[in-house]
Chain A
Amino acid sequence: NAGVTQTPKFRVLKTGQSMTLLCAQDMNHEYMYWYRQDPGMGLRLIHYSVGEGTTAKGEVPDGYNVSRLKKQNFLLGLESAAPSQTSVYFCASSYLGTNTEAFFGQGTRLTVV
């Protein structure tokens, strides 16, 4: 049972480039989330999904887009990367929303130069 898997684990982008981060979960969870983690700021919610075909904005959504075409996958896109998007990105999933345990992936370290 793999849990939550993120791809890739590391990436370096040039300013203006685009990329997609993939999150896959095998726990049949309805809820999925994308967070960014910056030093001294904890985890901040970028976007989330409450089920297949749905997405919603979190605390810091600007510059990111997401899609949930399949229940097990949640994609995070950066259309035009900026140095301010240098961060560690975590995907998480949960069974019944944020009032239940969230299971996190191992993170993607993204550097934008």
Chain B
Amino acid sequence: GENVEQHPSTLSVQEGDSAVIKCTYSDSASNYFPWYKQELGKGPQLIIDIRSNVGEKKDQRIAVTLNKTAKHFSLHITETQPEDSAVYFCAASKSNNNDMRFGAGTRLTVKP
């Protein structure tokens, strides 16, 4: 089955700096790659996703890039703010398969 690895497990940045979280996946048939943000005491919430027919997607300060050949995708957060502090999860899934696999998570801390 699919295996998703996520790095780093913790990341601390200064407010205003950029943050990058990287994930690799093992199943070349995976074609949907979402990123979820989980704030303390809450469930994960989708912040951005990308499908395999696209190499990059951007939404304001958040961007995701996908390299299908290398089977890795990354989350980029620019101009970080304290409210970006949370745990971020990457995930991978494929069509007609209901088992989305998640990475282990990255705890991001943005210092004011």
Report which A residues bind B (CB closer than 8 A): 4, 31, 33, 40-45, 48, 50, 56, 58-59, 90, 92, 97-99, 101-102, 104-107
Contacts and interface: CB of A to CB of B under 8 A. Distances in A.
The 9 lowest CB-CB distance pairs between A and B, nearest first, are A104-B43, A42-B102, A98-B100, A98-B93, A99-B32, A43-B102, A42-B104, A101-B46, A104-B44
Interface of B: 1, 4, 6, 9, 31-32, 34, 36, 41-46, 49, 89, 93-105
Nearest to B34: A101
Given A59-B1, A98-B32, A45 B43 contact: no
B104 A45 contact: no
24 contacts: A40-B9, A41-B104, A42-B6, A42-B104, A43-B89, A45-B98, A56-B98, A58-B98, A58-B99, A59-B101, A90-B43, A98-B97, A98-B98, A98-B99, A99-B32, A99-B93, A101-B34, A102-B44, A102-B46, A104-B36, A104-B43, A106-B41, A106-B42, A107-B41
- B-side interface mostly: loop
A43 B1 CA distance: 15
Contact of A101 (B9, B49, B89, B105): B49
A40 B46 contact: no
B104 A48 contact: no
A90 to B, nearest CB: 6
A102 to B, nearest CB: 7
B39 to A, nearest CB: 10
Contacts of B42: 106-107
Given A59-B99, A59-B101, 18 more contacts: A31-B98, A40-B105, A42-B89, A42-B102, A43-B89, A45-B98, A56-B98, A97-B96, A97-B98, A99-B31, A99-B32, A99-B95, A101-B49, A102-B100, A104-B44, A106-B41, A106-B43, A107-B42
A41 B102 CA distance: 8
